[in-house]
Amino acid sequence: MEGPNSDSSTLDKSAKIFVAGHRGLVGSAVVRRLHHLGFTNLLLRSHSDLDLTHQSAVDAFFASEKPQFVILAAAKVGGIHANATFPADFISVNLQIQTNVIDSAHRHGVAKLLFLGSSCIYPKFAPQPIPESALLTGPLEPTNEWYAVAKIAGIKMCQAYRIQYGWDAISAMPTNLYGPNDNFHPENSHVLPALVRRFHEAKVSGAKEVVVWGTGSPLREFLHVDDLADAVVFLLERYSGFVHVNVGSGKEVTIKELAELVKEVVGFEGDLIWDTSKPDGTPRKLMDSSMLAGLGWFPKISLRDGLVDTYKWYVENVKQ
């Protein structure tokens, strides 16, 4: 799906841009967006070619390739179950990747870096919609506090390098994302891809019911990854501020409403069963994206359209 806002791009189309994590949900969407805009000199390395937790390998990569811009979309990512089950991996891997990339990028002359965090950086009971100023004002949601602490450290590292070296490192905080190349793992993924897979498999097998986690009452804000990629390029080109920037759709739904929508889009005709032994997580996390709106960026893809697009991609690429 085409993003609308970064079309009048100002960067040189031959700029050497390293998109870290280009095979993931976000990284692949950023690559699609940059290609659409005519960028011709993208620097890409898969995880097997360059493990970003290896400091010396990352440093050698930056020393030899000398990218001009970096979009840091490589991370250890997962849904509520993965975050709560593998806390050591989520804090350790993320701290290593972002520390290695940010520090090497600075030392080897990268002009600008964009770090991707997440809405989970905010306190569990932050004011709604959540402004950027809510950072570090209260306790985090326990299911993802390890991941959140790493992401907060990433924001602070960008700010520290800006203060000490005048280096142009910025941070974007997306809300819950979905789209092509998402992780559709049955347990470790986020809710939207998990439900796409579960409803699709139930439809194909003729199952009478589908189990959905929690009570269905938590509210979540979803943004299609093509909108996010558009915002990322927009910020890379037009924002050089100290404060991290929220990137949301401004629209929230309950998990129950989401499950009903996925059921309808997939075409499953059975019942929903709620497994209340599973955690709900944060009750609500609607971002206040007025700072980004003030810069002139707005999302374009509705949840229904984005879900139809994602299900089509899933059927064509993941399941027969």
Concerning whether 161 is annotated as a catalytic residue, the answer is: no
The correct pick among 218, 248, 299, 306 for binding ligand F7E (CB under 6 A) is 218
Tokens 């002009």 label which residue?
111
| The dihedral sign for the CA sequence 236, 237, 242, 243 | negative
Q: Which does 74 bind (CB under 5 to 8 A by kind): ligand NDP, ligand F7E, none?
A: ligand NDP
Tokens describing residue 88: 């050591």
Torsion, CA 68, CA 69, CA 75, CA 80, rounded to 10 = 180
Tokens 């805009």 label which residue?
37
Question: Minimum distance between the CB of residue 178 and ligand F7E, rounded to whole angstroms?
Answer: 9
Of the two residues 68 and 254, which places its CB atom closer to ligand F7E in the complex? 254
Check if the beta carbon of residue 173 is closer than 8 Å to that of residue 221.
no
Of the two residues 63 and 204, which places its CB atom closer to ligand F7E in the complex? 204
List residues near ligand NDP by CB under 6 A: 21, 23-27, 47, 51-53, 73-77, 97, 116, 118, 174, 176-177, 183, 190
Q: State yes or no: residue 310 binds ligand F7E (CB under 6 A).
A: no
Q: Which does 266 bind (CB under 5 to 8 A by kind): ligand NDP, ligand F7E, none?
A: none
Question: What whole-number distance in Å separates Cα of residue 11 and Cα of residue 9?
Answer: 6
Q: State yes or no: residue 76 binds ligand F7E (CB under 6 A).
A: no
Q: Which is the catalytic residue, given 122, 147, 161, 239?
A: 147
| Helix extents (H) in the chain | 25-37, 55-65, 80-85, 87-107, 145-165, 191-205, 225-238, 255-266, 290-295, 303-317
Of the two residues 98 and 144, which places its CB atom closer to ligand F7E in the complex? 144
Question: Minimum distance between the CB of residue 42 and ligand NDP, rounded to whole angstroms?
Answer: 14
Q: State yes or no: residue 144 binds ligand F7E (CB under 6 A).
A: yes
Of the two residues 160 and 253, which places its CB atom closer to ligand F7E in the complex? 253
Q: What angle do CA 56, 20, 26 make, to 5 degrees?
A: 155
Q: State yes or no: residue 249 binds ligand F7E (CB under 6 A).
A: no
Among all residues, whose Cβ is closest to ligand NDP?
A: 24
Question: Minimum distance between the CB of residue 207 and ligand NDP, rounded to whole angstroms?
Answer: 27
Question: Minimum distance between the CB of residue 264 and ligand F7E, rounded to whole angstroms?
Answer: 16
Applying CB under 6 A, the site for ligand F7E has a residue count of: 28
Q: Buried b vs exposed e over 148-158: b needs ≥16 C-beta within 10 Å?
A: bbbbbbbbebb
Residues between 194 and 213 with contacts to ligand F7E, criterion CB under 6 A: 194-195, 212-213
Q: Which does 23 bind (CB under 5 to 8 A by kind): ligand NDP, ligand F7E, none?
A: ligand NDP
The helix (H) or strand (E) run that includes residue 224 is strand 219-224
Site residues (vs ligand F7E, CB under 6 A): 78-81, 83, 118-120, 143-144, 147, 176, 189-191, 194-195, 212-214, 218, 220, 255, 278-282
Q: Which residues are catalytic?
A: 147
